[in-house]
Structure 1
Amino acid sequence: MTSMQIPGQIHEYQRLSHLLTRQKAAFLNQPMPSARTRIEKLNALKALIINHSDEIVAAINEDFSNRAESETMLAEIFPLLDAIEYSKSRIKKWMKTERRKTPLNLAPASAHVMYQPMGVIGIVVPWNFPVFLGLSPLVSALAAGNRAMIKMSEFAPGTADLMQALIGRYFSEDDVTVVTGELDVSTEFTKLPFDHLVFTGATSVGKIVMKAASEHLTPVTLELGGKSPAIIHESFPIEEAADRLAFGKGMNAGQICVSPDYIFCPENKLDAFVNAFIKSMSQAYPTLRDNKDYTAIINDRQLLRLKNYLDDAKEKGATIVEINPAHESFEGTRKMPMTLVLNTNDTMLIEQEEIFGPLIPVKTYHRIEEALKYVHDRDRPLALYYFDYDNKRAETILSQTHSGGVCVNDTLSHVAVDDAPFGGIGPSGMGHYHGREGFVNFSKAKTIVRKGRINVTKMVAPPWNNAMYNMLVKSLWFKFKVLKR
């Protein structure tokens, strides 16, 4: 594996471009890998994950300064293994050329759609789930027959170095390669003429990535996040809502793109919700400072950002409810307690920016239409969470809102469904991956019309108004049930 940390004055773009050129050349030598080849590559990825899961857990834990092994296993390792097995069992079916209907005016002919690999996929990985969000799109890319270059996050350097070494051990550089490095490497990476570029991260950065990709008209898949709302219906048991939301928000200390970003609950149940949420969090995490189950903030920069959100909210009149059951000090650590923020307003940073941490505003409504209007008036989110056991009412909510995905009476779990697409909408992203949709996303659906020896076109061709043309026109009008002289 070529190292991306060579000292001195290096032209990053040329070096990255060389790697891409090699992969594109290798792709041209095998532009339509067989199902067997694709499955072999997925098996190699599976072996990498299984054989080195302990090392992966340890590297991520080190990068965060603390992240529960259970969270890494449940949110990164097992979902990847599920995705690999799901794709392996369906690749042959997905690869089959599909027959499509041919219009009468093209007869005799057949029409088919072939799903052809695009070439080399670029994948830019965020720091919050540095293995899952790098390898999950890779699963779809390999299933579709592509090669890939992966830029790991500089904010998870230990994991980045480990993945570079492991990918280099299980894959040739012409198949899959991992590059590491700081922001300058990421910037040059997104400028490369990939056949498709995947970026997961902040909406503001996504705009820059899309602009860079546009120079080569590179298609992009953007997974951007945003502010994902949770809405609790008046009829839903408030303690149950608090338990389910506490679990979802507690995962990775809220450092998840689909983490609930704010909660709407009925005004007359606010106190009950706050008390139930505190109770649920306190039972799950009775201590925080030295608790291996409670994830730390990834770095000092992110911790400072979150503290600034809290300070800004306090100055502007918010009520801060810190959940710190053991009354611990977190000096010298990157632990940050889960904190409810009440009485917020639109002037506060916490209302304007994606939170991406263990802070969550709780808002109230008199009528649920107020909550829906609030959601409608803002950017379309990556996820929406609705709590209501009435299926008919829930269907109405789903039909009246737009979001990348939805959980009814749960949080986060839609991301783990392999047989369904994952992706944003508008400011929360574009494009999909996972399962069949990932295969299609990283393929070119190529239409093929095939004709045989009989050339009917010649009989219909100019000079017009010939007998065959007139018969064809009458047949077409009849097909559309139009009587025309």
Structure 2
Amino acid sequence: MNMPVEAQQTLTAILQSQRQAFQADPAPQYSQRVAQLQALKQALIAHQDKLTNALKQDYGHRSVDDSMISDIMPCINNINYSLKHLKKWMQPSRRHAGLLLAPAKIKVQYQPVGVVGIIVPWNFPVMLSVGPLITAIAAGNRAMLKLSEFTPQTNKALIAMLEEVFEQDSVAVIEGEADVAAAFSALPFDHLLFTGSTTVGRHVMRAAADNLTPVTLELGGKSPVIVAEDMPIATAVERLIYGKCLNAGQICVAPDYVLVPRGKTASFIAAYQAKFTSMYGQVANNDDYGAIINQRQFDRLQAVLQDAKDKGATVVAASNETQSAVHRKMPTQLISGVNDDMLVMQDEIFGPILPIIEYDGLAQAIEYVNQRPRPLALYIMSFDSGVQQQILNQTHSGGVCINDAIFHVAADDAPFGGIGPSGMGHYHGKEGFLTMSHAKTILQRGKLNTGKIVHPPYGNKLQQMLMKFFVR
């Protein structure tokens, strides 16, 4: 897949322009960063209606409240948090030189890396473009954003907003199909952040490797819910259902499958249906429930459902209505009797389909999770502290919610990231600032130079004494 030479040249020219601007101002002052963040915040507030309306157009339908909760509000909270803590983050960190290096001073200076590339997915195109951008600005960098080709109206609104705040040599926005995304990921950025599927993440990392570009990969995977024996089924459903229904399940940390104690599948389905009906009723004409982003994704989900049915699974809808192919509205489809031969258990679902799997004993549930690739999130439904700790100790995942789902992503004061096939690296909060900064160690000596003690010729008595003192 090749893109026109002119387009490649344009990408390179923008990167060179940003790099030149960075070299002219390689250490933006605290006041500069604060001014940019404050201007971005005011732009988000001013453009919120345009952004939420654009999201609604791109999806066919998307709840304005969902967009405010999951796209606009997290960005504003992120800016507020960064403004509160940025001065402290920017301060050099004092370290101990130790007796061997004394007398000397050691500090770590957090320096902007330069130009950051950000590849944005279609599911939360505001939060997952502006969010990393906030981090890049806080760390003193410039940024190029590659937006998804599946959200053209949102892209238009984002571009209009960002052009009001930034010159292109500070923040540049790129649009285009997969060929542009491939060329973008191959640019020699100083850091590259990609949010998307594990499959595409592999291509991005491979392209970045040619330039030795450091990468942060925010991927996905099949995030499990473990419902323990002590947890009432209705309570478990109440705690996880919002995480599955927000954006119609098109979330990288959405519950992907549920493990329930043997014999509790029917009660789980009944509880889910009751709670879903109380939250949404009929989804076809419900403004609170979103649509599938496009026909391609809708057809993919239908194929996953049909494959499960063909291989013996039972599918029950969360509401007593047929799926709306016209409006691409799908109430949660609850699937029981699944096995690993089915597509629904092989790849991340990324939609309103929820497999239910029964287990015998907590050890079996943990083993089931551990036999599969490490997920981006894991959800524990239990009020038993012993059970909670056992699962935490014996499983690996990017993050965890106990008795809740997806809300850990909203924690500004904690890192977000995956592990293994679900990603690498972290951002959000201080960890994001550190990810997009170079931690430069600085050793400083005064007029007294003790380093000459270890100069050749070797073997004098002082050196022998030092060796005996430190090598013990």
TM-score range, shorter chain: over 0.9
Counterpart AA for 2:254:
S
Name the CA distance, whole Å, in 1 between partners of 2:322 and 2:462: 88
3-state SS in 1 of match to 2:263: helix
Relative to the length of structure 2, the TM-score reads 0.97
Q: CA deviation at 1:98?
A: 1.0
3-state SS in 2 of match to 1:115: strand
| 2:222 counterpart of 1:227 | yes
Name the CA distance, whole Å, in 2 between partners of 1:168 and 1:422: 28
Please tell me whether the aligned partners of residues 104 and 476 of structure 1 are also in contact (alpha carbons under 8 angstroms): no
Name the CA distance, whole Å, in 1 between partners of 2:378 and 2:186: 33
Please tell me whether the aligned partners of residues 461 and 469 of structure 1 are also in contact (alpha carbons under 8 angstroms): no
Counterpart AA for 2:336:
L
3-state SS in 2 of match to 1:330: coil
Please tell me whether the aligned partners of residues 115 and 142 of structure 2 are also in contact (alpha carbons under 8 angstroms): yes
Deviations 1:327-376 (A, max 9, x none): 35614221122100110010000000110000010001121111110100
* Identity of matched residues, %: 49
C-alpha spacing 1:459/1:191, structure 2 compared with 1 (3 Å): closer
Residue 20 of structure 1 corresponds to 15
| 2:443 counterpart of 1:449 | yes
| 2:146 counterpart of 1:151 | yes
3-state SS in 2 of match to 1:11: helix
| 2:151 counterpart of 1:189 | no
Residue 355 of structure 2 corresponds to 361
> Which residue of 79, 92, 101 maps to 1:97?
92
Name the CA distance, whole Å, in 1 between partners of 2:325 and 2:27: 56
> Which residue of 196, 204, 208 maps to 2:203?
208
Please tell me whether the aligned partners of residues 233 and 387 of structure 1 are also in contact (alpha carbons under 8 angstroms): yes
Residue 74 of structure 1 corresponds to 69
Residue 414 of structure 1 corresponds to 408
Alignment gaps of 5+ in structure 1: 1-7
Name the CA distance, whole Å, in 2 between partners of 1:114 and 1:300: 49
Name the CA distance, whole Å, in 2 between partners of 1:364 and 1:412: 23
Bigger shift: 365-374 or 428-437? 365-374
| 2:337 counterpart of 1:343 | yes
Bigger shift: 376-385 or 468-477? 468-477
Name the CA distance, whole Å, in 1 between partners of 2:433 and 2:290: 33
Name the CA distance, whole Å, in 2 between partners of 1:476 and 1:148: 46
Residue 236 of structure 2 corresponds to 241
Bigger shift: 105-114 or 168-177? 105-114
3-state SS in 2 of match to 1:298: coil
Q: CA deviation at 1:470?
A: 3.2
Counterpart AA for 1:65:
G
C-alpha spacing 1:362/1:48, structure 2 compared with 1 (3 Å): same
Deviations 1:185-222 (A, max 9, x none): 11111111000001000100000000000110000000
Equivalence map 1:375-394=2 (5 Å): 375-394=369-388
Name the CA distance, whole Å, in 1 between partners of 2:269 and 2:322: 21
Alignment gaps of 5+ in structure 2: none
Name the CA distance, whole Å, in 2 between partners of 1:409 and 1:331: 34
Residue 33 of structure 1 corresponds to 28
Equivalence map 1:207-356=2 (5 Å): 207-325=202-320, 327-328=321-322, 330-356=324-350
C-alpha spacing 1:220/1:282, structure 2 compared with 1 (3 Å): same
Name the CA distance, whole Å, in 1 between partners of 2:431 and 2:167: 27
Name the CA distance, whole Å, in 1 between partners of 2:215 and 2:7: 22
Counterpart AA for 2:181:
S
Residue 168 of structure 1 corresponds to 163
Q: CA deviation at 1:378?
A: 0.5
Name the CA distance, whole Å, in 2 between partners of 1:11 and 1:354: 36
3-state SS in 2 of match to 1:260: coil
C-alpha spacing 1:227/1:9, structure 2 compared with 1 (3 Å): closer
Deviations 1:148-178 (A, max 9, x none): 0001100111101111121111111111111
C-alpha spacing 1:343/1:118, structure 2 compared with 1 (3 Å): same
3-state SS in 2 of match to 1:268: coil
Name the CA distance, whole Å, in 2 between partners of 1:239 and 1:423: 30
| 2:43 counterpart of 1:51 | no
Name the CA distance, whole Å, in 2 between partners of 1:456 and 1:476: 15
Residue 5 of structure 1 corresponds to none
> Which residue of 430, 435, 438 maps to 1:436?
430
| 2:109 counterpart of 1:120 | no
Counterpart AA for 2:161:
L
| 2:128 counterpart of 1:133 | yes
| RMSD, matched Cα | 1.3
Counterpart AA for 1:304:
D
Name the CA distance, whole Å, in 1 between partners of 2:194 and 2:325: 34
Residue 398 of structure 2 corresponds to 404
C-alpha spacing 1:466/1:332, structure 2 compared with 1 (3 Å): same
Name the CA distance, whole Å, in 2 between partners of 1:249 and 1:329: 17
3-state SS in 1 of match to 2:106: strand
Residue 460 of structure 2 corresponds to 466
Q: CA deviation at 1:89?
A: 1.0
Deviations 1:425-452 (A, max 9, x none): 0000001000000000001111111111
Name the CA distance, whole Å, in 1 between partners of 2:467 and 2:302: 72
Q: CA deviation at 1:308?
A: 0.3
Please tell me whether the aligned partners of residues 273 and 319 of structure 2 are also in contact (alpha carbons under 8 angstroms): no
Structure 1 runs of 4+ with >6 Å offset: none
Name the CA distance, whole Å, in 1 between partners of 2:110 and 2:235: 45
Please tell me whether the aligned partners of residues 161 and 180 of structure 1 are also in contact (alpha carbons under 8 angstroms): no
C-alpha spacing 1:360/1:328, structure 2 compared with 1 (3 Å): closer
C-alpha spacing 1:259/1:88, structure 2 compared with 1 (3 Å): same
> Which residue of 149, 168, 193 maps to 1:198?
193
